[in-house]
Structure 1
Amino acid sequence: MMQQIDNYKQEMTAFEATTAEAAEAFRIKYLGTKGIVKAVMGEIKNVPNDQKKAFGQILNEFKQFAEARYEVLKESTVNGQPSTVNSIDISLPGTPVAIGTRHPLSIVRNQIVSIFKRLGFAVAEGPEIEDDWHNFGAMNLPEDHPARDMQDTFYINQHPAWLLRTHTSSVQARVMEAQRPPIRVICPGRVYRNETISARAHCFFHQIEGLYIDENVSFADLKQTLYFFVQEMFGKEVKVRFRPSYFPFTEPSAEMDISCLICGGSGCTVCKHTGWVEILGSGMVHPKVLQNFDIDPEKYTGFAFGMGVERVCQLKYRINDLRLYSQNDVRFLRQFTGAV
């Protein structure tokens, strides 16, 4: 019997349980009502009376051994996984938590929105899948207008025409459709154009457009608004210039350049050795655009502008390839951890 008890102890010691079910199987086999421990305890009746006291102690130790082994197996299984409670040294430093960051485009977008909010501009958003009227027609671009060739469009449906918006001017259209002047909004969002992907262009990018309509709004108001934006975003030492341009939804129209932040205006590949970098287009809202939304152009005037967030981000953080924004390379993204 003593040899049998030793054998049972060796079996229990070798028993491993990685699940709660395995630990329960151990309990049933050794400690259950028909288990081995109870069967061994029942052998006390066959022991001579003068040896029962000593043998009883051995049986009690055997039972305690089985119960202790069961407790160890039970604690080693938590939710079906081996427990590491006994292997943790709580005096050691904890595992550091990796801290993420916002995407550089999100950082710059938030900065632009914050600057214009201080000037009283509200934020307006709209759908990325647009109809032809809000994207083109309302912006003074009829079907045969040559300006449509300026924007290679991803069409989803032809008749009626549904497309991926080519600019966030469609959001301006929806605001003018639903709201009466005074109107002062900026429209951030993603836009799509069928362009060859390169270091300087992509088939999708992000825009922020602005619209201000009220009585007696002038081109001087437009210039001062954009001067303030540039100084807040890039610093007061940055130079600004306006160049006449053409946009079907504004008249007169102008493109705004700033002195190149990469070379300081001396000339480089980014500014094409001119010392200037274009960052946005702007102009006074065309009277026909106002009329499309029953806004009296004799009473109200307004200005609009639009910029690419990628271009502003490129200048602010000296990024030389637009493809880096969408490649999800953590080596690139980790550089902006301290910029949040």
Structure 2
Amino acid sequence: MNDLDELVAQAGRDFTAAAAPAALEDAKARYLGKAGRLTELLKGMGALSHEDKKTRGAEINQAKQAIEAALSARRQALAEAELEAQLKAEALDVTLPGRQRGNGGLHPVSRTLERMEALFGSMGFEVADGPEIEDDWYNFTALNTPADHPARSMHDTFYVDTAGPNGGHLLRTHTSPMQVRHAVQHVKRHAASGSSAPMAEIRVIAPGRTYRVDSDATHSPMFHQCEGLWIGANVSFKDLKSVLTDFFRRFFESDDLVLRFRPSFFPFTEPSAEVDIAFESGPLKGKWLEVGGCGQVHPNVVRNFGLDPEAWIGFAFGLGPDRLTMLRYGVNDLRQFYEGDLRFLSQFR
């Protein structure tokens, strides 16, 4: 093997050993660059005779072609290897099952609200709706809670503004304002009708979101309430106890559920009571738990409805759908309802 054959063989070995394009270009420079070995051989031809130049030039040119062919082959091999690695890294396994959207479902609190509306609806209660940004008169004053009333401290809330003909606007602290709005509109509609027949009773529930500055495992700055109102010519506390007892027994599906009405105070009812239920099993066995408040509607509130408290009487109640949801489904932290964790919420689908 002459020197040129050895040079071609060595170049082939160096090109094969180059594992990356940059290393291959370095190897190319050693043989085909301006200071490469073939270039040096061409420079040395100046001392040869004319006939020897022709022979040697042809041999060097043949060696150059062989080296360039080996270089091109190695470049192609490196490019193919890079493409194969890229394809493997970006491979799509078409044998995998498709990604499907899961089926949605009602939020557990929404389930409770629908259940409450259905149960009270079967007792003849309508469903009222109203604004969540309420004015001071409907939220407090119309409910016998004037600006200097101490009960307002229990309703610390978020004010939008404090100016206006009705005392400014705030995020409502309960859904009782919806009772007032519904009752006022009910009275106005009857008056506008010009009918000589007695006005129909007012029987309504007001479910919805409410807001207070409060947050812990059993309280949230935003929570839900379902308030109820029944006003008629002869609606008594006995009717109140009957309605709530029937509701809770049907809600918890227990005919033996025991309720306790404990004297309390609310500015918009008189007399007033807290409603407790007794648990006969589970972690709360042997304990009473408060589930709402109620009472006969205060005469001042009846007047704010536009009615005569001597002729119209009735009761109101307020229940917490969030707490009822916790009890029904065994949830011990209210905040889980509002964290948006699908692992928790998917249990109620």
**TM-score, L = length of structure 1:** 0.68
The one of 127, 131, 135 aligned to 1:127: 131
1:143 corresponding residue in structure 2: 147
Is residue 294 from structure 1 mapped to residue 311 from structure 2 by the alignment? no
**Structure 1 residues 200 and 264: CA distance shift in structure 2, 3 A:** closer
SS of match in other structure, 1:225: helix
Computed over aligned residues only, the root mean square deviation of the Cα atoms, in angstroms, reads: 1.9
Is residue 326 from structure 1 mapped to residue 338 from structure 2 by the alignment? yes
The one of 293, 316, 320 aligned to 1:281: 293
SS of match in other structure, 1:226: helix
Is residue 240 from structure 1 mapped to residue 254 from structure 2 by the alignment? no
Is residue 256 from structure 1 mapped to residue 275 from structure 2 by the alignment? yes
2:68 corresponding residue in structure 1: none
CA displacement 1:109-159 (0-9 Å, x = unmatched): 100110000000000000000000000000000110111111112111112
The Cα of 1:261 is off from its aligned counterpart by 6.6
Which residue identity lines up with residue 115 of structure 1 in the other structure?
L
2:65 corresponding residue in structure 1: none
The one of 201, 206, 216 aligned to 1:198: 216
The one of 221, 246, 253 aligned to 1:228: 246
Which residue identity lines up with residue 217 of structure 2 in the other structure?
A
Is residue 169 from structure 1 mapped to residue 176 from structure 2 by the alignment? yes
Matched-pair identity in %: 50
CA displacement 1:199-237 (0-9 Å, x = unmatched): 111111000000000110000000000010011001212
Aligned residues: 241
The Cα of 1:259 is off from its aligned counterpart by 1.4
2:13 corresponding residue in structure 1: none
CA contact (8 A) 1:310 1:322 kept: yes
CA contact (8 A) 1:244 1:255 kept: yes
State how far apart, in whole Å, the 1-side matches of 2:278 and 2:346 are.
28
State how far apart, in whole Å, the 2-side matches of 1:257 and 1:184 are.
23
SS of match in other structure, 1:179: helix
CA displacement 1:242-269 (0-9 Å, x = unmatched): 10010000000011111137636535xx
SS of match in other structure, 2:205: strand
The Cα of 1:295 is off from its aligned counterpart by 0.4
Which segments of 5 or more consecutive residues in structure 2 lack a partner in the other structure? 1-92, 188-199
SS of match in other structure, 2:250: helix
State how far apart, in whole Å, the 1-side matches of 2:224 and 2:325 are.
11
The Cα of 1:98 is off from its aligned counterpart by 1.7
Which residue identity lines up with residue 222 of structure 2 in the other structure?
F
Q: Comparing both structures, which one devotes a greater share of its residues to helix?
A: 2
The one of 308, 317, 322 aligned to 1:310: 322
State how far apart, in whole Å, the 2-side matches of 1:317 and 1:336 are.
9
CA contact (8 A) 1:108 1:312 kept: yes
SS of match in other structure, 2:336: helix
Is residue 155 from structure 1 mapped to residue 174 from structure 2 by the alignment? no
State how far apart, in whole Å, the 1-side matches of 2:256 and 2:231 are.
30
CA contact (8 A) 1:261 1:315 kept: no
Which segments of 5 or more consecutive residues in structure 1 lack a partner in the other structure? 1-86, 268-274
State how far apart, in whole Å, the 1-side matches of 2:98 and 2:163 are.
61
State how far apart, in whole Å, the 1-side matches of 2:327 and 2:161 are.
37
2:118 corresponding residue in structure 1: 114
The one of 208, 212, 215 aligned to 2:226: 208
State how far apart, in whole Å, the 1-side matches of 2:163 and 2:281 are.
47
The Cα of 1:322 is off from its aligned counterpart by 0.6
State how far apart, in whole Å, the 1-side matches of 2:216 and 2:110 are.
21
Is residue 178 from structure 1 mapped to residue 185 from structure 2 by the alignment? yes
Misfit runs of 4+, over 4 Å: 92-97
The one of 184, 206, 209 aligned to 1:187: 206
State how far apart, in whole Å, the 2-side matches of 1:137 and 1:130 are.
12
